[in-house]
Structure 1
Amino acid sequence: MTWHTGRLTGFDLETTGVDVEEDRVVTACVVHCGGGEDTQSRMWLADPGVEIPEGAAKVHGITTEQARAEGAPAATVVGEIVAELAQAVKAGQPLVIMNAAYDLTLLDREARRHGIKPLAELVGDRLLVLDPRVLDKQVDKFRRGGRKLEDLCRIYRVALDGAHSADADALAACRVVWRMGQSFPDMTRATPAELHTLQTGWAREQAESLAAYFRKTPGKESWADGVRTEWPLIPHQQTGA
């Protein structure tokens, strides 16, 4: 059995925005699928404790009013997500996360915000991540067009019902990775640990290439400074004296 036919754990967040240092979790899903077992998933709706901007609400469909009325306290949600992911990691399951550096970093900052031990500190070097975005850019470097989850679902023939809902996106990411394993047998010859290490380098190279593109593109030069090369988690920077 190769990793793509084993048990995978998908993870996705929908949030108040795109700033991993400041934005908050609104909805989340952790899905366990594959390996010849039934698919199991957990969904969360959080009250993030801040206003959900109109632009973010248009993407995932959750308004501030709904989150306040129906959402659980953010600290409770974040703690349960971290615990669910830690359990999967300790069981040896790879985490499938589209654009992992975003979701894992935002979750890390939320955990710290609420006094919860972050996932990376709970599991250490046992963390194994499969990022469809990084993998796709490596195996099909010169394909034109977008590389969002919707694009990858189209390329790899995966149904995506309800894009930008955490449960649909988490499951679709797992199915994309499974399809990639079928399409690129060389990828499945590596272990998840080997792939994790390889992706660290690939993600850095991809980010550096993007930054170089911004630097030579009129009107986008300043964007290069915001490109981060760390994967799958942007390290937390201690502040203060």
Structure 2
Amino acid sequence: MMPSYFVAHGAPLLALEDNQYTNYLKELGEALPQPKAIVLFSAHWESGVQQVGDVEEYRTIYDFGGFSEALYQIEYPAKGSSDVVQKIKEAFAQQEIPYEVDKTRGLDHEAWVVLRMIYPAADVPVVSMSVNPHLTPQQQYEIGKALAPLRKEDVLIIGSGGTVHNLGVVKLHQDNGQTDAWAVEFDDWLEEQMTKWNLESLYNYKKEAPAVDLAVPPYGNEHFIPIFYAMGAADEEKSAKLTHRSYRYGNLSHSVWQFGK
């Protein structure tokens, strides 16, 4: 059975860099067995109704600006998987989860930066999924839970985002290895709750987590919530393991969580 993962996508420049985190993601791809397909929930695809990407081949979306021209030359031409899309539709119908199929959207950098590190050949079919910031964490968890049977068919489920992701306080011109104490405090709290699978506290993170308004700003929780989709996919096992954590620019977290075994 495939585990599910929450993977931080970091800043777009990550796609051009060679550092501790990019090396970890490459090693992760080498360690994992080749999946039949990847189902990826992207923080950069927000929708009021769950969207399921069903395309023959994804175009690469450059949803950022002001970066090196080399970033805009990168392409990740992953194929889609109509077979997995059909299984997702059946799972959602069974659990009465509303959804829509999108046949035009490409892969945003939340998806392709991560996937390109783990599977650089773009040889694993992908089903891109949206996230809904207006759902409760429990509802997001239940969407992931509905897809849990796919893991038994060698489908890798990924939530791509960031546990600490606040562009209002990130220090893009200060990359000296120092990390803000509040960011570590939030991630430490998260690690304790995740490893205990303490859903009650996790669902109530906005009230219980320290420094939550800095780590998960009130105006945007879209980068944090993919963790609930990925976690829900491992509900049968309730096993969470932090496999990597580092920081850039003072507080931008690069966390990777493995759910299930």
Q: Using structure 2 for the length normalisation, give the TM-score.
A: 0.25
The structure with higher relative contact order (CA 8 Å, sep 6+) is 2
Higher helix share: 1
Higher strand share: 2
Q: Using structure 1 for the length normalisation, give the TM-score.
A: 0.27
